Amino acid sequence: MALVCAGAAGIAEAQSVSTYGTPGLLEIPTAEMFEDGTLAFTAAGFRDTARGTMTFQMLPWALGSFSYAYIKGFDGAVGDRYDRSFDFHFRLREESKHSPSIVMGLRDFGGTGIYAAEYFVATKTFRDRFKLTGGIGWGRMAGRGAFSNPLGVFGERFDTRPSSNDGETGQLDFGNWFRGDAALFGGVSWQHNDRLTFLAEYSPDLYTAEGDNIGFDIHSPINFGVQYRFKNGTQLTTSYLYGTTLGLTFSYFIDPRKAVTPGGQGAAPPPLRPRSQVAAATADRTQGDIRDRLQRALDQEGLRLVYLSDSGNTVQVGVENNRYGLAAQVLGRTARVLVNEEPPQTEQFDIALMSRGVPLSAVRVNRDDLYELEHDPDNAWRSFARAEVSDTIPLVDGGILTDAFPHFSYRFGPYLNFSFFDPDDPLRYELGAALGLDYTLSPGFTLSTGLRLPILSTLDDSTRVSDSPLPHVRSDWAIYARESNLRIEHLTAEYLWRPGTNLYARTTLGYLETMFGGLSTELLWYPTDSRLALGVEANYVAQRDFDVLFGFQNYTVATGHASAYYDLPGEYHAQVDVGRYLAGDYGATFALDREFTNGFKVGAFFTLTNVSSEEFGEGSFDKGIRLEIPVSWLTGRPSRNKLAQTIRPVLRDGGARLSVRNRLYGVTREARAQNLSRGWGRFWR
The C-alpha atoms of residue 62 and residue 631 are separated, in whole angstroms, by: 28
pLDDT of residue 180: 92
Q: Domain span at residue 159? A: 58-230+239-247
Residue 547 vs residues 316, 486, 517, 633: alpha-carbon distances, Å:
48, 8, 13, 36
Average pLDDT over residues 562-576: 94
pLDDT of residue 486: 94
- pLDDT tens by residue, 386-413: 999 998 776 555 678 889 999 999 999 9
Residue 352 vs residues 293, 334, 359, 376: alpha-carbon distances, Å:
19, 10, 6, 25
Sequence-distant (≥ 6) Cβ neighbours of residue 305 within 8 angstroms: 291, 294, 295, 298, 299, 317, 318, 319, 401, 404
Q: Is residue 165 in some structural domain?
A: yes
DSSP 271: P
Q: Return the higher-pLDDT residue of 355 and 5.
A: 355
Q: Is residue 490 in some structural domain?
A: no
Average pLDDT over residues 422-438: 87
| CA nearest to 624, candidates 642, 601, 650, 600 | 650
- pLDDT tens by residue, 43-90: 999 988 999 999 999 999 999 999 999 888 776 555 678 888 889 999
pLDDT of residue 54: 94
Bridge partners, residue 39, by sequence = 56, 254
Question: CB of 209 within 8 A of CB of 3?
Answer: no
Average pLDDT over residues 95-118: 90
- pLDDT tens by residue, 481-510: 899 999 999 999 999 999 999 999 999 999
pLDDT of residue 10: 38
The alpha helices in 590-679, defined as continuous H runs, are 613-616, 631-635, 664-668, 673-678
The C-alpha atoms of residue 182 and residue 162 are separated, in whole angstroms, by: 14
Number of domains in the chain: 1
- pLDDT tens by residue, 127-173: 889 999 999 999 999 999 999 999 989 888 888 888 765 555 556 66
Residue 8 has pLDDT above 60, yes or no: no
**Cis ω before 162 (30° cut-off from 0):** no
Give the β-pairing of 348-355 and 314-321.
parallel
Bridge partners, residue 62, by sequence = 59, 90
- pLDDT tens by residue, 607-623: 999 999 888 887 788 89
pLDDT, mean over the chain? 89
Strands (DSSP E) contained in 286-424 are: 303-311, 314-321, 348-355, 358-366, 388-390, 407-422
Q: How many CB atoms lie within 10 A of CB 424?
A: 10
Please state, for a pLDDT cut of 90, what percent of the chain lies above it.
65
Within a 13 Å sphere around the CA of 206, how many CA atoms are in the beta-carbon half?
A: 11
Q: Is residue 645 in some structural domain?
A: no
Question: CB of 474 within 8 A of CB of 654?
Answer: no
Average pLDDT over residues 476-483: 90
Q: Is residue 152 in some structural domain?
A: yes
The C-alpha atoms of residue 532 and residue 553 are separated, in whole angstroms, by: 39
Q: Is residue 89 in some structural domain?
A: yes
Q: Is residue 157 in some structural domain?
A: yes
Q: Is residue 534 in some structural domain?
A: no
Q: Is residue 212 in some structural domain?
A: yes
pLDDT of residue 9: 38
Could you give the 3-state DSSP secondary structure of residue 450?
A: strand
> Residue 11: which pLDDT band, with cuts at 50, 70 and 90?
very low
Instruction: Give just the sign of the alpha carbon dihedral 358, 362, 366, 371.
Output: negative
